[in-house]
Amino acid sequence: MTFTLATALLVSCSFAFLRGWASNSPADLARTPPMGWNTWNHFGCQISEKTVVDAAKALSDSGLKDFGYECWQAPTRHSLTKEPLADPQKFPSGIKSVVEQVHALGLKFGIYSDGGTHTCGGRFGSLGYEDIDAKTYAEWGVDFLKYDNCYNEGLSGNQSISHERYGNMSRALASTGRPIHFAVCNWGEDKPWEWASEIAQSWRISGDIYDNFGDYDPRCPCEVLEGCKNFGHHCAVTRILDWAASLVDYAGPGGWNDLDMLEVGNGNMTYDEYVTHFSMWALLKSPMILGNDLTKMTDETWEIITNKLLIDTNQDELGIPVRRRWRRPVPQGGTVQLWSGPLTSRRVVVAVMNTSPISINLQIPLSDVFEEATLGFYDVYDVWKKDTSGRWGAPYPVHSNNLKVSLRKHQTKVWILVPSNNVIDQVSFS
């Protein structure tokens, strides 16, 4: 899909720059997952006009926008009109001025609010003020709204109540006539994947992520989604992936499972763990919202977040997330997992993830991926290895219709299988 704008920025206790959509029609919102940057993971509420504009410039000047990439409120609303007001100390020029600067850089602009009386950061929320807030956001030129779930006055607990509360903001946004991506952020409560596609373009499936690969945290207690009543926060990467594995059928062009923001570059995971995190978010077609300091990136962080071949799989027009084919326990702890899915032009993407604490060698028969094909029908490319020209996607050798794989602890490898001239017209996935 061709995009006229490349990325977007989200503001509130969170601002975001997002990848643009194809046109100004609401029908074109989120035909592929949004991409961008959000202030929250790295800066929290310590933001200002300078934080936001500097990040926007970093996206533009560094070339990140070519790859496709909260606490703004005043203490109270306007006393008479009840319009939302920006913090005059942090944003003396007002939000509209910041939006114009972001748009001038070829980026789209996102903002944050909450479907409650207050935001999670303690500023005013939008519950009961949906119409005036949506109208103001549209007048400011906002392109994206992340809508949280704190202080919701008990208006949750079943799907019809949550649908109505979030639907009120969805309808208010639609009435403005401005296409604004609506991102439901109710942390997976009331199973938004079953109803949010009617009113939103993306929906969170879990409690808040934190910069951790696989440690258990009692604040994110549910090991499986079925019967989960406390989606919590401080959720590790592997916990979110286990939840996402059962939800792939709910995502597709126009509406996406949101696995939460990316932690790549925030410093608490290893290179291999960040590669796994970035890879699986991309392959599951999650929104790809960076959460690091864009003005201070290591070479390793830059290398991960600019893997164009992997980004292209996330933005593939077919819009089908990878599916977990198997998950096998390792005696020392953790698992080895096989994921795969289709791409446009009859291509196939395959990922093998090692969540265990040891290195592992294994052979994976192609029959584990799909039934009626052999590797002789495909050319195989390693998404995380560069070819002789320096581009991601070096040719990968195959042996007797098997992928031979060596994985370090917490490493993920990804391949794209491209049909050769004699490939069968259709492949049937196992």
What distance in Å separates the CA atoms of residue 175 and residue 260, rounded to the nearest whole number?
28
Please give the torsion angle defined by the CA atoms of residues 62, 88, 134 and 123, in that order, rounded to the nearest 10 degrees.
100
Within 10 angstroms of residue 227's Cβ, the number of other Cβ atoms is 6
| Catalytic-role residue among 114, 133, 143, 148 | 148
Q: Give the burial class of 390: count Cβ atoms within 10 A of its Cβ; 0-12 exposed, 13-18 middle, 19 or more buried.
A: exposed
| Catalytic-role residue among 114, 190, 208, 293 | 208
Q: Is the dihedral of CA 286, 360, 214, 273 positive or negative?
A: negative
Q: Angle at which helices 130-140 and 95-104 pack, to 10 degrees?
A: 40
What distance in Å separates the CA atoms of residue 364 and residue 208, rounded to the nearest whole number?
34
What distance in Å separates the CA atoms of residue 216 and residue 414, rounded to the nearest whole number?
26
Please give the torsion angle defined by the CA atoms of residues 284, 287, 292 and 293, in that order, rounded to the nearest 10 degrees.
150
Task: List the one residue out of 82, 51, 232, 214 whose CA is nearest residue 149.
Answer: 232
Tell me the two tokens of residue 73: 């409120």
- Residues near 134 by beta carbon (within 8 Å), at least 6 away in sequence: 169, 172, 173, 175, 176, 180
C-alpha of 379 from chain center? 29
Active site (annotated) includes residue 379: no
Q: Give the burial class of 76: count Cβ atoms within 10 A of its Cβ; 0-12 exposed, 13-18 middle, 19 or more buried.
A: exposed
Active site (annotated) includes residue 148: yes
Instruction: Count the residues in the chain.
Output: 430
Task: List the one residue out of 356, 338, 396, 99 whose CA is nearest residue 214.
Answer: 356
Q: Which residues are catalytic?
A: 148, 208
